């Protein structure tokens, strides 16, 4: 009887232990499934962020935030998507929530400042950047610091920040273009020309840099087009821009010749040059 009772106790203990094991296994399985779902959602978020149309991404992450209101990464993606969709003021509201979250990162504050600048709130953007520890260094931080220094006409600081930002990315064309535009506003046309050429060295297709380059050269009365890659349509637009610069500097005869060249280069695309030339000729005849 004693042995029988002991066997019953052992069997009962084994059954209980087996039950505990099953419960533990089920809990582990549920945890794995939960983690797998989180990983899948994170992967979908990354795909949506990089591939989807900006407005589609906004709709996707708006639903994600409604579903997971406490998930910072969903709000972060929503704010980034709103900036992509040219809705920086809406992005500012979301970034204001993100930067106060427990798992906020310094880069969140940088992106918050970016959205504020896009919303033309330069003072608040400067305050946000100043609150980030100086030990945190990133390309976007220095790019924004340069823009703010520019807006305050703190030229030495701006140049230093532009130079630092350009050295922190493999694709500095945008930085060089902004830096060149800064030099344009200071009337340092030779420096601006060099910087726009640097921008085009990294991105030969950046049309805004081509346009700015032509303006910088025209301001120095260099009325020939630079030796850069350009399509026929781009050539016509650049000739037109150069013509306007020449006319503004009272080099009217040169401007008229450039307008005619723009018309001859791309007559089917460039009615603006024709209208400008006609207006000039009418003014002279009157």
pLDDT at 255 over 80: yes
Count of domains in the chain?
A: 1
pLDDT at 46 over 60: no
Domain annotation covers residue 102: yes
pLDDT value at residue 203:
97
Domain annotation covers residue 42: yes
Domain annotation covers residue 111: yes
Domain containing 88 — which CATH number? 1.25.40.10
- 58: closest CA among 48, 73, 68? 48
Across 46-55, 99-108, 264-273, least confident range: 46-55
Domain annotation covers residue 239: no
- Count Cβ atoms within 10 A of the Cβ of residue 41 and give its class: 0-12 exposed, 13-18 middle, 19 or more buried: middle
Domain annotation covers residue 160: no
pLDDT value at residue 6:
38
* First-last CA distance in the chain: 129
- Contact between 112 and 89 (Cβ < 8 Å): no
pLDDT at 1 over 90: no
Return the percentage of the chain with pLDDT > 70, whole number.
79
Contacts of 276 (CB under 8 A, 6+ apart): 240, 243, 244, 259
Q: From CA 65, how far away is CA 91, in angstroms rounded?
A: 13
CA distances from 161 to 17, 175, 281 (A): 65, 10, 47
pTM confidence score: 0.77
Domain extent, residue 85, equals: 37-119
Domain annotation covers residue 70: yes
Domain annotation covers residue 230: no
Q: Which tokens is 88 given?
A: 């920086």
Domain annotation covers residue 173: no
């Amino acid at each position: 009887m004693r042995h029988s009772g002991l066997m019953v106790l052992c069997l009962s203990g084994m059954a209980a232990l087996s039950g505990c094991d099953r419960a533990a296994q089920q809990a582990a399985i549920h945890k794995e499934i939960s983690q797998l779902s989180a990983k899948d959602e994170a992967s979908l978020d990354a795909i949506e962020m990089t591939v989807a149309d900006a407005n589609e991404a906004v709709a996707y992450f708006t639903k994600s935030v409604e579903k997971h209101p406490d998930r910072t990464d969903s709000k972060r993606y929503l704010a980034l998507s709103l900036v992509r969709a040219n809705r920086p003021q809406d992005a500012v509201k979301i970034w204001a929530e993100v930067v106060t979250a427990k798992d906020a990162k310094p880069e969140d504050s940088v992106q918050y400042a970016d959205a504020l600048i896009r919303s033309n709130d330069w003072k608040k953007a400067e305050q946000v950047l100043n609150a980030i520890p100086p030990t945190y260094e990133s390309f976007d931080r220095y790019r924004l610091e340069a823009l703010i220094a520019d807006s305050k006409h703190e030229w030495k600081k701006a140049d230093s920040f532009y130079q630092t930002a350009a050295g922190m990315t493999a694709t500095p064309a945008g930085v060089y273009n902004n830096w060149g535009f800064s030099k344009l506003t200071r009337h340092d046309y030779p420096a601006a020309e060099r910087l726009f050429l640097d921008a085009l060295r990294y991105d030969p297709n950046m049309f805004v840099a081509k346009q700015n380059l032509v303006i910088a050269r025209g301001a120095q009365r260099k009325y020939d087009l630079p030796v850069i890659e350009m399509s026929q349509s781009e050539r016509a637009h650049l000739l037109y821009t150069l013509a306007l610069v020449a006319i503004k500097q009272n080099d009217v005869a040169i401007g008229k010749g450039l307008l005619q060249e723009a018309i001859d280069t791309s007559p089917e695309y460039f009615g603006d040059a024709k209208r400008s030339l006609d207006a000039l000729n009418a003014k002279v005849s009157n």
